Structure 1
Amino acid sequence: MRIGIYGLGRFGAFFAGLLSSKAEVQAYSRNPDRPAPAGVRRVGEEELLAMPAVCLCVDIGAMPEVLARIAPRLGPGTLVLDTCSVKELPVRWMRELLPPGVEILASHPMFGPDSGARGVEGLPMILCPVRLQEARYREWEGFFSSFGLEVHRLAPEDHDRQAAYTQGLTHYLGRVLAELDLQPSAIGSLGYRRLLNIVEQTCNDTWRLFLDLQRYNPHTPAMRQALDRALEALKAKLDML
């Protein structure tokens, strides 16, 4: 495999380093101060876009601008992968903005520098083939499986419906708990310490990621409404005491 990583933010640098253990990886960032991880060669934008596979590691909200920027310079047969935490809108953008001869594989690595710090074996990797022959999809499925990842093939709509809770709810509750300014305690139970871990893990990600998860997943408004109803139902039961 020869893969170009477009974007060397916190996740992009982590993902590039991970993939470089089993593939030839080059990376590009518009920020000249962001170094490539060990085993990854930093290149210019044109050289990166000539790679057979280009993996976009950019903010969800930046996708339309990045796709419009790179689309005219991608050759036929190039494979473009995204790594966005939501899938329906990025898939729509890629279909609309990328040339017909460019292959598309939407993905969501459901891990990052924190959860994957001790290895990624057993962690979920979501793949949504969009414009890709089955044989080519199987190649990429096998590649990601070789890292020990649990690869799940989902339609973008199914991904976002589930992710509204598995990721959107987790980050929402993490930010709610952060507003309470919870502190470690000598008498804290295991459950309490796990709550602190949720705060640490979710708030270690950027505020923009949190906003993007809530804004660009069409199913998160219903999730927040369901959470509000659940809280109100519980408070009503307590008010009856």
Structure 2
Amino acid sequence: MPFVDVLSVKEHPKDVLLRIMPEECDLLCTHPMFGPESGKDGWADLTFMYDMVRIRDQSLCSSFLHIFSSEGCKMLEMTCEEHDRLAAQSQFLTHTIGRILSEMEVEPTPIDTKGFQKLVQVKESSVKDSFDLFSGLFIHNRFARQQMKNLEVALEKTKEKLQERSKELQDPIISKF
């Protein structure tokens, strides 16, 4: 009997499924790297990650994967650990930035640059997903905590650089008053 997981994190569910599923069950861990919104116009060129964790029926597994490859998905085989490491850098970081922008109540303005428009899009697409999804990316992906720390360190370094530059550029004549 085959079992396919399609969750956004891979190591945690793989470990749970290996523990609870009978040995005779095949286990294929997958993650379509797109959701209903980004895949609504088709799956061509969208990434489909998979890890054949425990496969005895190669034919059935291949048939399932063929559904996605025949629709034009970029098929990417990798371990669940590698997926989670990369997903923390991309998916989790994107959702985190989007949630931060939402907390800041960032909205379009009449003078938006293209870069700012992209930030608004990140915010809007991130908050369309449930907070349960976002929190699951943090709670069940062991690499997400380090990304959160990296973000905090980067923010502090950026603030320090701005403060140093501000001190360097202060006009000595004005600062006397």
Cα gap change, 1:80/1:234 in structure 2, threshold over 3 Å: closer, same or farther? same
1:197 is aligned to 121
1:232 aligns with 2:156: yes
**Once the 2 structures are TM-superposed, how far is the Cα of residue 139 of structure 1 from its aligned partner?**
3.4
Q: Please, what TM-score do these two structures have when normalized by structure 2?
A: 0.88
Counterpart pick for 2:66 among 126, 142, 145: 142
User: SS in structure 2 opposite 1:85?
Assistant: coil
Cα gap change, 1:132/1:180 in structure 2, threshold over 3 Å: closer, same or farther? same
Give 1 or 2: higher helix fraction: 2
Question: Hey, what's the Cα distance between the residues in 1 that align with 2:107 and 2:145?
Answer: 30
Question: Hey, what's the Cα distance between the residues in 2 that align with 1:228 and 1:152?
Answer: 31
2:106 is aligned to 182
Cα gap change, 1:159/1:134 in structure 2, threshold over 3 Å: closer, same or farther? farther
1:80 is aligned to 3
Asked which structure has the greater CA Rg, the reply is 2
1:129 aligns with 2:129: no
Counterpart pick for 2:20 among 87, 97, 100: 97
Structure 1 stretches lacking a partner, 5+ long: 1-77
User: SS in structure 1 opposite 2:82?
Assistant: helix
Structure 2 stretches lacking a partner, 5+ long: 166-177
Asked which structure has the greater RCO (Cα within 8 Å, sep 6+), the reply is 2
Question: Hey, what's the Cα distance between the residues in 2 that align with 1:166 and 1:132?
Answer: 28
Aligned-residue Cα RMSD (Å) equals 1.3
Q: Please, what TM-score do these two structures have when normalized by structure 1?
A: 0.66
Amino acid at match of 2:112: G
**Once the 2 structures are TM-superposed, how far is the Cα of residue 134 of structure 1 from its aligned partner?**
7.7
Question: Hey, what's the Cα distance between the residues in 2 that align with 1:199 and 1:119?
Answer: 23
Amino acid at match of 1:154: M
**Once the 2 structures are TM-superposed, how far is the Cα of residue 188 of structure 1 from its aligned partner?**
0.8
